[in-house]
Amino acid sequence: MRLIVNGTTHEVDAEDRMPLLWVLRDILGLHGTKYGCGIAQCGACTVWLGGEAVRSCQTALGDVDQPVTTIEGLGAPGALHAVQQAWVTHQVAQCGYCQSGQIMQAAALLAATPAPTDSEIDDAMQGNLCRCGTYPRIRAAIHAAAAKLKEG
Amino acid sequence: MPRTGRIARRTFLVGSALVGGGLAFGIWRYLTPGPNPLKAGLKAGQAALTPYVLIAPGGITVIAPRAAMGQGAQSALALLLAEEMDLDWDRVAVAHGPPSATYYNGAVLAEGLPFAPTDRSTQAELAREAGDVLAKFLGLQITGGSSSIPDGFDKMRRAGAAARAVMLQAAAARSGQPLEALRTGASAVILPGGGRIPYTALIAEAAGIDPPADPPLKPRGDWRLIGREVPRKGMVARSTGTELYGIDMVLPGMAYATVRRAPQLGAGVDRIDMTRARAARGVRKVVEIPGGFAVIADNTWRAFQAADLVEVTWAPAAYPATTEAMFAEVAGSFTADRRDSRFTDVGDVDAMLRQDVPGEARGKEGGGQEGAVQQGELIAAEYRAPYLAHAPMEPMNATAWLKDGHLTIWAGCQVPLYAASAAAKAAGVPPEAVTLHVLPMGGSFGRRLEDDFIAQAAQVARAVPGVPVKMTWSREEDMTHDFCRPLGMARGRGRVARGKVVAMDLAIAAPSTTASQMGRLGLPSVGPDTAIVAGAWDQPFAIPARRVTGYRVPEMAPVSSWRSVGASLNGFFHEGVMAELIHAAGADPLAERLRLVDDDASRRVLEAVGELSAWGRADLPKGWGRGLAFTLSFGVPVAEVVDVEATAAGIALRRVYIAANLGVVVDPRNVEAQMTGGAIWGLGHAMGAEITFDGGAIEQGNFDSYPFLRINQCPVFHTRALEMGDRVHGIGEPCVPPAAPALAAAIFAATGKRLRQMPFSKEVDFA
């Protein structure tokens, strides 16, 4: 099975029904994508398939027909994506475990809706659970990232 | 404060060891500083100036020996040290460091003492000091109880000042300048002419200098980091997927495992057939472990899959099989033989609550609700709280490697020394043959005060000697094998007269978290458990007749500390009954609490939340309701106001106002995050979460059946942190307890529905 992840092509020998999440983590060694629930209830495993945010725990390897982007492909510590920069500036993270998924979901939202309202943010982000309760800062950081992206 | 009882005739729990017994070890050992655990691991060219400062040519690492689990304590502890050592914050690295008794937590036992946080009597202060002594003897390196900052506030600053003194001496020796002529700044010693010697260039000289034992600390006016908005450590890693949590551990040749244990907690295997699992793709081994089995495979998913193929019958549970039977046990525990404590007994409560005492009632609510019995001006109500799971976002996991008789473990952990010892036992190696690396955690909320999963990883490693193995629980295993927050019930009675609350009698029944935890550590527990009544008995309200009685329910399912522990139930119980009394009195919830409060900081907190929320002046839209609650826990008085709107889709949380007194605010942005996060924790569970049992097994397995507040339900927050008094407090937990009763009061104001059991979703819908 051929898989393109963050622009790199991989040959993966695994079951078609193996979730993309575990292919990323345990076979490709990309640990930024997190396991939280395994049933698409928490969003910690959110990645992009093409440009769409999907739950990688519910995406079978055999169904991956587009390039995959993970948090590692969005930006890196020395080269932050605007959403990541806003996350850092607003000190969004507490434990941080859900934030890869939050950021991938937020970046997908901003790609589709460059200036989201609070209600659009709530709609887009409600599948991403945070038990530390970072939601108020997630809202603020998304607005800040939207403003930044608009500036260019 | 009300009289707190007769301490001389009581024994009490502090970590289940008697303070008196701890003192018998001898004061000399307490006064001797612990050895520096960093010395053993020093590489060439490095120096460990104190147990908290590791200095290498490439930079300075501050050891903040408390677990990183989202509460921000590591960064705040490092900040305290950096303040005194004059470190360049942007270039400071922070690490947990090796587990060591040197890093004992001297503040964690204070919450377990039968003295209210507001009690500053000699007796109370002596007991707190004894708690510190005992913690040192026990080598109690523990993260919990909102105690990292209270414990570390002086300790870390002194360590920083001592390290700075060493740097100054080293620079004096190097430069030939007199000590008095030297200054420090941005991780360097500054010479009289303006020249700088970076700390990292003084390692050789520093290695031979002993740090002073009691260096002077900066006056508050000179602080340039404490209380300022400085960047919290770890933000970039946690925003780029590069933080290494326990679950991300990788070692060459590593195997991947998962375990399943009896859903009937503590029970074992009756019959097991592992044949099919052993034949599954990628499976290396399937073995029995105590209470269940482990699958070791070549990736986590294959281990999960194969675990489903094991055919197993479990033994029955040793406790009541259903939630209904468990609550019946609780309800049957309000008896003399199960009475655990009565720390508060002020005035003649029995006389005040007699039927024939004349009184006056005003503004009573409509009757007829279940649990409410109204007898003239007497109020009686029964409250309930369910079991709750910690369910941190990162499921339990640990990586273990048993090689040549030595066991190395990597895991998130709040009790590293206990965990290492449990792992040694599980792997069959002596304690000194264990190395435990404590990694950052994807949440914990008290879950990793238990070391069950670490011992398990050691058992799994034993099955594949020489091979490192990462054991990861499925979410379902995690949720169904938690050590839950105990369930509990409260029966409240009270009297109001002439518009005032004049009597309150609160009886609380719950299993003892302390006894359950100590039992697992093989330690005895003696005396009453303050956790059963914490957040109720110690509240600063001078109601003329007042009594709080704790009843201990038998253990049933194992229970443990859950963010804010006993106060997580009792804040709801106490403030629920208080709200009903104030309502019956026809009084204003804020004004009546202000009339009753007898602690300055608590009064200021109530006033502050009144100002923040424009209490009494806010013009709430139609259909909205506003509720107030207050809880003093972990030494921190917290008042919260919740505004809700009754919409067609259900109750919507609109705004939350929080005021709290911390003494000193070390890291204001993190404090705000803990205040809002704590309230969200309290609100989110009160709204919809409960753990129930059937057939002895937990019925909720994942976030679909154990819901939590989502961003679309999240209110807007306004917070204020006060800095009153001479004591520093932690903020990880205290904002949890008042959230549920404030929400209940708001829903009552909006709908007239009085909520006496959590979760509230049993009786109202949420938008």
Write down which residue in A73, A89, A105 finishes a domain. A73
A46 lies in the same domain as A13: yes
Say if B649 falls within a structural domain.
yes
pLDDT at B563 over 60: yes
More confident of the two residues B195 and B367: B195
Put simply, the answer to whether A26 touches B442 (Cβ < 8 Å) is no
Domain extent at residue A37: 2-73
- By C-alpha distance, the chain B residue nearest A36 is B393
**In angstroms, what separates the C-alpha of B598 from chain A's closest C-alpha?**
32
A66 lies in the same domain as A83: no
A88 lies in the same domain as A136: yes
**Residue B521: predicted pLDDT:** 81
Put simply, the answer to whether B475 touches A37 (Cβ < 8 Å) is yes
pLDDT at B19 over 90: no
Write down which residue in B239, B255, B288 finishes a domain. B239
pLDDT tens-digit map of B119-171? 999 999 988 988 888 888 788 899 999 999 999 999 999 999 999 999 999 99
Q: What's the whole-number mean pLDDT along residues B361-384?
A: 54
B468 lies in the same domain as B490: no
pLDDT tens-digit map of B292-324? 999 999 999 999 999 999 999 999 999 999 999
B674 lies in the same domain as B622: yes
**Residue B670: predicted pLDDT:** 97
Interface probe for B, chosen from A92, A95, A105, A135 (most Cβ of B below 10 Å), is: A95
**How many whole angstroms separate alpha carbon B289 and alpha carbon B459?**
7
**Residue B361: predicted pLDDT:** 39
**How many whole angstroms separate alpha carbon B194 and alpha carbon B627?**
59
Sign for the pseudo-dihedral over CA of B89, B91, B95, B98: negative
**Residue B112: predicted pLDDT:** 85
**Residue A114: predicted pLDDT:** 96
**Residue B358: predicted pLDDT:** 52
Is residue B524 very low, low, confident or very high in pLDDT (cuts 50, 70, 90)? confident
B518 lies in the same domain as B586: yes
**How many whole angstroms separate alpha carbon B115 and alpha carbon B343?**
9
**How many whole angstroms separate alpha carbon B75 and alpha carbon A134?**
17
Q: What's the whole-number mean pLDDT along residues B174-198?
A: 96
Tokens in use for B473?
């629980």
Say if B131 falls within a structural domain.
no
**Residue B31: predicted pLDDT:** 57
**Residue B690 has what DSSP assignment?**
-
CATH number for the domain harbouring residue B58: 3.30.365.10
Say if B71 falls within a structural domain.
yes
Longest CA–CA separation in chain A, Å? 45
Q: What's the whole-number mean pLDDT along residues B358-368?
A: 40
Q: Torsion angle of alpha carbons B510, B511, B517, B520, nearest 10°? A: -170
A127 lies in the same domain as A90: yes
**Residue B20: predicted pLDDT:** 38
B572 lies in the same domain as B654: yes
B272 lies in the same domain as B222: no
B297 lies in the same domain as B262: yes
A62 lies in the same domain as A95: no
Q: What's the whole-number mean pLDDT along residues B35-43?
A: 90
Strand partners, B56: B59
Number of domains in chain B: 3
A63 lies in the same domain as A112: no
Put simply, the answer to whether A136 touches B676 (Cβ < 8 Å) is yes
User: Measuring CA to CA, which residue among B235, B693, B198, B94 is closest to residue A88?
Assistant: B235
More confident of the two residues B607 and B114: B607
With contact defined as beta carbons under 8 Å apart, do A95 and B234 qualify? no
A46 lies in the same domain as A56: yes
B258 lies in the same domain as B302: yes
B529 lies in the same domain as B648: yes
Percent of chain B with pLDDT over 90: 85
Interface probe for A, chosen from B240, B394, B469, B700 (most Cβ of A below 10 Å), is: B240
CATH number for the domain harbouring residue A9: 3.10.20.30
Cis ω before B215 (30° cut-off from 0): no
Mean pLDDT estimate for chain A: 97
pLDDT tens-digit map of B717-744? 999 999 999 999 999 999 999 999 999 9
pLDDT tens-digit map of B671-694? 999 999 999 999 999 999 999 999
A7 lies in the same domain as A43: yes
**In angstroms, what separates the C-alpha of A90 from chain B's closest C-alpha?**
9
Say if B120 falls within a structural domain.
no
Q: What's the whole-number mean pLDDT along residues B550-570?
A: 98
**In angstroms, what separates the C-alpha of B686 from chain A's closest C-alpha?**
14
- By C-alpha distance, the chain B residue nearest A135 is B711
User: Measuring CA to CA, which residue among B168, B158, B167 is closest to residue B215?
Assistant: B158
B639 lies in the same domain as B716: yes
The whole-angstrom distance between residue B377's C-alpha and the CA centroid of its chain comes to 39
- By C-alpha distance, the chain A residue nearest B682 is A133
Is residue B176 very low, low, confident or very high in pLDDT (cuts 50, 70, 90)? very high
A81 lies in the same domain as A109: yes
**How many whole angstroms separate alpha carbon B15 and alpha carbon B525?**
8
Mean pLDDT estimate for chain B: 92
Say if B366 falls within a structural domain.
yes
B589 lies in the same domain as B551: yes
How many CB atoms are closer than 10 A to CB A112?
12
pLDDT at B83 over 90: yes
pLDDT at B22 over 50: no
CATH number for the domain harbouring residue A143: 1.10.150.120
Strand partners, B721: B660
A84 lies in the same domain as A29: no
**Residue B746: predicted pLDDT:** 98
**Residue B470: predicted pLDDT:** 98
Q: What's the whole-number mean pLDDT along residues B698-704?
A: 98
**How many whole angstroms separate alpha carbon B492 and alpha carbon B483?**
28
Residue A75: list chain B partners with CB under 8 A: 240
B664 lies in the same domain as B725: yes
Number of domains in chain A: 2
- Residue B372, helix vs strand vs coil: coil
**Residue at token pair 């307890």:** B737
Write down which residue in A73, A101, A128 finishes a domain. A73
Write down which residue in B472, B493, B522 finishes a domain. B472
Residue B677: list chain A partners with CB under 8 A: 94, 132-134
Is residue B485 very low, low, confident or very high in pLDDT (cuts 50, 70, 90)? very high
B363 lies in the same domain as B220: no
Least confident of A38-47, B11-20, B65-74, B182-191: B11-20
**How many whole angstroms separate alpha carbon B321 and alpha carbon B314?**
14
What is the three-state SS of B518-551? HHHCCCCCCCCCHHHCCCCCCCCECCCEEEEEEE
With contact defined as beta carbons under 8 Å apart, do B73 and B209 qualify? no
Cα Rg, chain A, nearest whole Å: 15
pLDDT at B529 over 70: yes
**In angstroms, what separates the C-alpha of A129 from chain B's closest C-alpha?**
6
Say if B2 falls within a structural domain.
no
**Residue B357: predicted pLDDT:** 55
A42 lies in the same domain as A99: no
Give, to the nearest 10 degrees, the angle between helix B416-427 and helix B452-463. 30
**Residue B30: predicted pLDDT:** 57
Q: Which of B236, B301, B673 sits opposite A94 (nearest CB)?
A: B673
Residue B441: list chain A partners with CB under 8 A: 95, 97
Write down which residue in B438, B472, B506 finishes a domain. B472
SS3 helix, strand, coil % of chain A, rounded to 5? 45, 15, 45
Percent of chain B with pLDDT over 70: 93
pLDDT tens-digit map of B402-436? 999 999 999 999 999 999 999 999 999 999 999 99
Say if B14 falls within a structural domain.
no
pLDDT tens-digit map of A102-129? 999 999 999 999 999 999 999 999 999 9
Is residue B32 very low, low, confident or very high in pLDDT (cuts 50, 70, 90)? low
**Residue B192: predicted pLDDT:** 96
With contact defined as beta carbons under 8 Å apart, do B105 and B151 qualify? yes
Say if B261 falls within a structural domain.
yes
Q: Count the alpha carbons within 13 Å of B634 in the hemisphere toward its beta carbon.
A: 32
Domain extent at residue B438: 246-318+396-472
Residue A36: list chain B partners with CB under 8 A: 393-395, 475, 703
A84 lies in the same domain as A34: no
**Residue B525: predicted pLDDT:** 77
Strands B397-403 and B406-411: antiparallel
Least confident of B12-21, B114-123, B468-477: B12-21
**How many whole angstroms separate alpha carbon B354 and alpha carbon B618?**
39
Put simply, the answer to whether B712 touches A126 (Cβ < 8 Å) is yes
Is residue A75 very low, low, confident or very high in pLDDT (cuts 50, 70, 90)? very high
Name the strand (E) or helix (H) holding B673.
helix B668-688
Q: What's the whole-number mean pLDDT along residues B544-572?
A: 97
Q: What's the whole-number mean pLDDT along residues B52-63?
A: 95
**Residue B207: predicted pLDDT:** 83
**How many whole angstroms separate alpha carbon A10 and alpha carbon B192?**
60
Is residue B566 very low, low, confident or very high in pLDDT (cuts 50, 70, 90)? very high
How many CB atoms are closer than 10 A to CB B763?
15
**In angstroms, what separates the C-alpha of B714 from chain A's closest C-alpha?**
7
**What's the length of chain A?**
152
- Residue B297, helix vs strand vs coil: strand
Is residue B38 very low, low, confident or very high in pLDDT (cuts 50, 70, 90)? very high
Put simply, the answer to whether B677 touches A132 (Cβ < 8 Å) is yes
